[in-house]
Amino acid sequence: MHAGGAARLRTVTLAVLTLSLTAAATGCGNDSGGQGGEVTVGIALPTRKQTRWIADGNNMEKLFKEQGYKTDKQYADDSVDKQVEQVEEMIDRGDKLLIIGAVDGFELGDALQKAARAGVKVIAYDRLLLGSSNVDYYASFDNYAVGKLQARYIIDKLGLKKGGNAGPYNIELFAGDANDNNVRGFFSGAMDQLDEFIKDGQLEVPSQQMRLSQVTTYKWQAEIARETMTTRLDDFYKGGSTVDAVLAPNDGIARGLIEALKKHDYGTAAKPMPIITGQDAETESVNEIIAGEQSMTVYKDTRKLAEVAVKMAQDILSGKQPEINNREGNDNGNKVVPAYLLAPVSVDKSNYKKLLVDSGYIKASDLN
Ligand code: BGC
């Protein structure tokens, strides 16, 4: 589904948004104070560490409320045990549907079984729930495309071409938490682009850390990435060699890497910042993009993801078939979960105003 997938997704997304806007304008389906009645939807989210998850939770809550549903929102603070407990309590409290952004996609099997027995439907949110047949739908972004956008940015900015002889440029690779299923999509999306340039010598990886298992970052912790980067810079960049590009999986990690780089005197005329990628379009990182420290981020409009998930939930709860745009691509090891995937967008200094500020995703007053 990957080649040309982004364009296709964008078209489908537009169609869906147009449809829901039309429905809203004509009052169809959500007049007379909504349709939720006494129904409560459980929203289990993994963490508050990245600001996106706070926005995800607030956006869904708001949309459900507008439709007359009650919500039961919980954050697991990156703890598997806490999330299992939260999900089980939601089922015990009688929540009718669960939207789950998993801390660890593999660890909710028993809780999901409990949900199925109680007749509670489950939507996997952003991160696929793994190894269980008790997952009904999946709402996310095209995670493979996220990694591809990050890598294409690096390739374009370094001017690498198929069969060319640019460089060699030094690159260091980082990935997110090993238990977050998205991480495989992000990393393979990136490496499918970068590999040929590593093979033909236009890119070099001085640390030799190239396999996913070598570059994951426990619970996406920026401090850990910062320490790893510090060690790599100390050990592999001696005698004047410098790093030209860093594949950073998200904005939090990018900020950790930037700290390590600055401590090693990057960001000066003599030693410019390498190209550094990111993800999530967090305000703090957009400010670093404006300041010329981070190069780009991948914007995933969490407002749209919340819309997709809430619409899915409403359809399921009213016995309708939710709209799907990806039927085959999300095998969780036990079942292929029908999904709706949104298209991510590459953002840098040249287009952040139009994409992030004009669309209201970030307030101009929060930017430097
Ligand atoms: C999400 C990213 C986020 C990361 C850390 C991933 O599963 O897709 O948007 O940066 O988790 O929370």
> pLDDT tens, 309-362?
999 999 999 999 999 999 999 999 999 999 999 999 999 999 999 999 999 999
Please indicate whether residue 150, judged by its CB atom, sits closer than 6 Å to ligand 1. no
Strand partners, 100: 44, 124
User: Could you tell me the pLDDT band of residue 34, with boundaries at 50, 70 and 90?
Assistant: low
**Cα gap 124→4, rounded to integer Å:** 25
Domains and CATH numbers, the chain: 5-135+301-343 (3.40.50.2300), 143-299 (3.40.50.2300)
User: Could you tell me the pLDDT band of residue 35, with boundaries at 50, 70 and 90?
Assistant: low
Order of all β-strands in the sheet with 275-276: 203-204, 169-173, 245-247, 275-276
Most ligand 1 atoms within 8 A of CB, residue of 182, 183, 187, 301 to mutate: 182
Per-residue pLDDT of 40-77, as tens digits, reads 999 999 999 999 999 999 999 999 999 999 999 999 99
Please indicate whether residue 301, judged by its CB atom, sits closer than 6 Å to ligand 1. no
Please indicate whether residue 250, judged by its CB atom, sits closer than 6 Å to ligand 1. yes
C-alpha 40 to ligand 1 mean position (Å) = 26
Residue 318, token pair as written in the block: 């009213």
Q: What is the pTM of this model?
A: 0.90
Q: Are 145 and 2 in contact (CB under 8 A)?
A: yes
Please indicate whether residue 182, judged by its CB atom, sits closer than 6 Å to ligand 1. yes
**Cα gap 214→224, rounded to integer Å:** 13
Q: Are 308 and 139 in contact (CB under 8 A)?
A: yes
How deeply is 321 buried, as exposed, middle or buried, from its count of CB atoms within 10 A (0-12, 13-18, 19+)?
Answer: exposed
